[in-house]
Structure 1
Amino acid sequence: MSEAYDYDLFVIGAGSGGVRAARIAAGHGAKVAVAEEYRVGGTCVIRGCVPKKLLVYGAHFAEDLADARRFGWEVPDCRFDWPTLRDNVLSEVDRLEGIYGEILDRNNVEVFDQRAKITGPNDIELADGTKLRAGTILIATGARPVIPEIEGAEHAITSNEVFHLETLPKRVAIAGGGYIANEFAGIFHEFKCDVTLINRSDKILRHYDEAVRDRLLQISLMKGIKFLFNAPFERIEKQEEGSLLLHMKGQDPMEADVLIFAVGRAPNTQGLGLQEVGVELGKNGAVLVDEDNQSSVPSIYAIGDVTDRVQLTPVAIREGQAFADTVFGGKPTRVDYDSIPSAVFSHPPIAGVGMTEGEARTKLGSVKTYVSDFRPMKNVLAGRNERALYKLVVDDATEEVVGIHMIGPDAPEILQAAAIAVKARLKKPQFDEVLALHPTMAEELVLMK
């Protein structure tokens, strides 16, 4: 390390990507520091995928307890207690935050529990006025929920605040049609809340396969979740007794106890001093980087949601690893963004990898699709009419399976293994050659004709 610098690497943001980059760079011998103004662990651990998935597990017991009676269990009428689940989830978040802190400590990464901004290509100033210099600076500040600029928006909450609700609301309105909106719609519905999903467009989950997202809409409606489409917000009024009156274009006003905005996430670049030092930003504030995560200023890099490339935790982690190996490990590495699996932890969950049928027809021309539309065995005995749907999208010319899309129980767990086949560019006859593991839902992947 040059005597002109305090650190080889200074990371701003201690989320999943920043922690990985710091740990790996330190392992390569770099002197590393991290600044984090909130809590170590970032969105995923503190107020995102981990606590949300725990709420999903908690919510699913509503159906499991009801189904148990059909399987011979004498289940008494059960009462759900929101504070118990909320507090247990928050305790688990605290435990995980501690683990992330221990990881940094074990790797001799110095942590500054305060905000940092960039004042030069190699200069950082902390909130307390401390000035530091680093040979390389990494921006890993993630993204934040978008709150629309409409009258009364301050009366709504975002996914960040859901985990801290004092009481369970009776009427929940959710603005948005993406994965966060649909996941919380399923969660609150299982908690016996009256749920309405309000979307400014006419589609949910527009990046997922059409047949799969249509099936989720059908099942959600059957369960009792309500949807308002083509309903952009005009204003929000807080009424005297504390409820909200929601005004949407083309719709009658509706009342709700809580309104959750889930209309997208914006990169956290405000107040970091990036533009002042010459870092080029996109129109939404994202840091523009090249294939090696390098910004327009050679000493400044960025990874994860702050770049707004693919807003997924595993992608941020892979980018952090690639950055550290390239810059500090002498092992040039680039992330392959092809065939990234993704999931929606709705009720039931969705999972997909590769091209949707629509994307494949546009890109490849001639494609074949293989579909299994079935009722899972557990649902049959439980008396549930809910059906699963699996789809293989195949390049007609090469027989390569270019996409797998699923909705049904445990779809994300099944897809993780199936994604290997798409990444490896396996062909449909190779799927056919695999013997079925019976009786399972996953066997449908090798039985489609």
Structure 2
Amino acid sequence: MSFDYDLFVIGGGSGGVRAARIASAEGKARVGLAEEYRMGGTCVIRGCVPKKLMVYASEYPGIIDDARAYGWQVTPGAFDWSQFRRQLEAELTRLEGAYRSTLLNAGVEVHDQRATIVDPHTVELADGRRFTTKHILVATGGRPFVPAIPGAGLAVTSNEMFHLETLPARALVVGGGYIASEFACILNGLGVKVTQVYRGTQILRGFDDEARTHVANAMAASGISIRCNADVARLDRTAGGIRASMIDGSSEDYDLVMYATGRRPNTEGLGLDRVGVVIGGRGEIRVDGWSQTNVPSIYAVGDVTDRINLTPVAIREGHAFADTVFNARPRQADHDLVASAVFTQPELGSVGLTEEDARAQGPIEVYVATFRPMQSLFAGRQDRVLMKLIVAEDSRKVLGCHIVGPGAGEMIQLAGIAVKMGATKEDFDRTVAVHPTISEELVTMRSPTRRG
């Protein structure tokens, strides 16, 4: 049977773009891609890239304060949110253009509209055109989830945070995950009075308990009011802003309420039910290790599968799919020992098992160092870094590494290589330290803090 395309990709985010480029440029496939919004997906347009730029912007008040301690005669002015927004939008436009150019240079035909699935080998664009395709790849990502409480429409999500007309004076951030915690820190750094509420016992669930407690304590010390075991019952518009009424009966007015209470896969209205693709309880597309659904011609990668919802993972999944189907190099994406970073202030970097998970698997040794880093200590700040290694008592392998402090994201990338390679504690020990650095503590911890 002759098809219009060898591959049609629905979604122009990181995973879909990588798969399309590799299949077209290296696999010589005829590839079409449809994107209904802006090329680049969540990460580039409304996620990690603009968020990280906001993190940088929010760090400058602390940098300026430190500069004075180091002898610089500096005086901070007011933060110009409108100027930052203009430059941010210009950068996102540049990145979107780079993504589009990458596709076009690889020979991919781009359709700037929504696409849905008609049957296992047919897609339909919003303008009514239909194309036949040998393979379909769904890479539509995810979307923020807001609980159905009274007044939910008064809240914003992370999608809208980059387009605010003005910065609020008072903000409520609802949620305890990395997105909520990062935006709480960003707003706090930009001079907003921030309250963060989370229904659990501690923010950053899923991360190492000691590490996330360290982050939470530092956030509280910076002025963020963190209320755990709390939740919002309703939101109401008032003369004073937006009133958040809590489940405990208390209430307070804010200028902005942001919800970051999880994300859901974007599978609604794609026609997946029409062709019988199996969907999980959270709306995720069920796939096997090859990113293939139960319908042989349809595959899915990235957040829409709800496996590990990180941009680099989506890219790996897309690349592995293209290599397998179009390049005669069959391989599955490796989801084991994926390092991650939370860009709170301070940052948290993590790879491998938490102490709690490792302890459940067998005897371990835990090595912990906490100290005041040289740069901020000289400036008179009370910041403390945490370095933590979790080691299997029998094999001596480092099962987990957790870092809280400046540059934790950069450090965990490099530590992740060693952990991925199966390095032992003795491998770390015989590595000569680079002095004076924060990271040297990773190779100088000799005695376990605790065993178990």
Per the normalisation by structure 2, the TM-score is 0.98
Match of 1:407 in 2: 404
AA aligned to 1:117 is T
1:244 aligns with 2:242: yes
Of 342, 355, 371, 2:368 maps to: 371
1:280 aligns with 2:303: no
**2:17 touches 2:103 (CA, 8 Å); kept in 1?**
yes
**1:340 touches 1:354 (CA, 8 Å); kept in 2?**
yes
SS in 2 for 1:270: coil
Gaps of 5+ in 2: 447-452
Match of 1:101 in 2: 100
Match of 1:327 in 2: 325
Match of 1:18 in 2: 16
AA aligned to 2:414 is A
Match of 2:35 in 1: 36
AA aligned to 2:307 is R
SS in 1 for 2:159: helix
Q: For the residues of structure 2 that align with 1:367 and 1:411, how far apart are their CA atoms?
A: 24
Match of 1:341 in 2: 339
1:440 aligns with 2:437: yes
In the TM superposition, 1:283-432 aligns within 5 A as 283-363=281-361, 365-432=362-429
Match of 1:174 in 2: 173
Q: For the residues of structure 1 that align with 2:28 and 2:385, how far apart are their CA atoms?
A: 50
Gaps of 5+ in 1: none
**1:342 touches 1:353 (CA, 8 Å); kept in 2?**
yes
**1:231 touches 1:251 (CA, 8 Å); kept in 2?**
no
Q: For the residues of structure 1 that align with 2:201 and 2:337, how far apart are their CA atoms?
A: 27
Q: For the residues of structure 2 that align with 1:202 and 1:91, how far apart are their CA atoms?
A: 40
**2:203 touches 2:228 (CA, 8 Å); kept in 1?**
no
Match of 1:213 in 2: 212
SS in 2 for 1:419: helix
Q: For the residues of structure 1 that align with 2:413 and 2:35, how far apart are their CA atoms?
A: 32
TM-superposed CA distance for 1:227, in Å, is 1.3
Match of 2:183 in 1: 184
AA aligned to 2:53 is L
TM-superposed CA distance for 1:77, in Å, is 3.4
Q: For the residues of structure 2 that align with 1:434 and 1:77, how far apart are their CA atoms?
A: 42
**CA displacement, residues 132-165 of structure 1 (integer Å, 9 cap, x when unaligned):** 1100000000000001111100010000000000
Q: For the residues of structure 2 that align with 1:349 and 1:227, how far apart are their CA atoms?
A: 17
TM-superposed CA distance for 1:251, in Å, is 4.5
Match of 1:142 in 2: 141
SS in 2 for 1:84: helix
TM-superposed CA distance for 1:403, in Å, is 0.4
Match of 2:450 in 1: none
TM-superposed CA distance for 1:240, in Å, is 3.6
Q: Percent of pairs identical after alignment?
A: 50
Q: Once superposed, which parts of structure 1, at least 4 consecutive aligned residues long, lie more than 6 Å away?
A: none
Match of 1:261 in 2: 259
Q: For the residues of structure 2 that align with 1:149 and 1:193, how far apart are their CA atoms?
A: 27
Q: For the residues of structure 2 that align with 1:330 and 1:304, how far apart are their CA atoms?
A: 22
Q: For the residues of structure 2 that align with 1:448 and 1:307, how far apart are their CA atoms?
A: 39
Q: For the residues of structure 2 that align with 1:318 and 1:256, how far apart are their CA atoms?
A: 41
SS in 2 for 1:104: helix
Q: What value does the CA root-mean-square deviation take over the aligned residues?
A: 0.8
TM-superposed CA distance for 1:85, in Å, is 1.2
**1:37 touches 1:114 (CA, 8 Å); kept in 2?**
yes
SS in 2 for 1:163: helix
**2:24 touches 2:106 (CA, 8 Å); kept in 1?**
yes
AA aligned to 1:221 is A
**CA displacement, residues 236-292 of structure 1 (integer Å, 9 cap, x when unaligned):** 101145x10001111411111000010001000000010111100001110000000
231-240 or 96-105: bigger deviation: 231-240
Q: For the residues of structure 2 that align with 1:77 and 1:119, how far apart are their CA atoms?
A: 58
**1:231 touches 1:248 (CA, 8 Å); kept in 2?**
yes
**CA displacement, residues 385-441 of structure 1 (integer Å, 9 cap, x when unaligned):** 110000000000111001000100001111111100100001011111111100000
1:117 aligns with 2:116: yes
Match of 1:60 in 2: 59
Q: For the residues of structure 2 that align with 1:248 and 1:317, how far apart are their CA atoms?
A: 40
**2:13 touches 2:42 (CA, 8 Å); kept in 1?**
yes
**2:123 touches 2:130 (CA, 8 Å); kept in 1?**
yes
TM-superposed CA distance for 1:203, in Å, is 1.5
TM-superposed CA distance for 1:181, in Å, is 0.5
Q: For the residues of structure 2 that align with 1:180 and 1:248, how far apart are their CA atoms?
A: 21
Q: For the residues of structure 2 that align with 1:79 and 1:275, how far apart are their CA atoms?
A: 52
SS in 1 for 2:160: helix
Q: For the residues of structure 2 that align with 1:46 and 1:438, how far apart are their CA atoms?
A: 39
**CA displacement, residues 12-48 of structure 1 (integer Å, 9 cap, x when unaligned):** 0000000000000002110000000000100000000
AA aligned to 1:389 is L
TM-superposed CA distance for 1:209, in Å, is 0.7
AA aligned to 1:384 is R
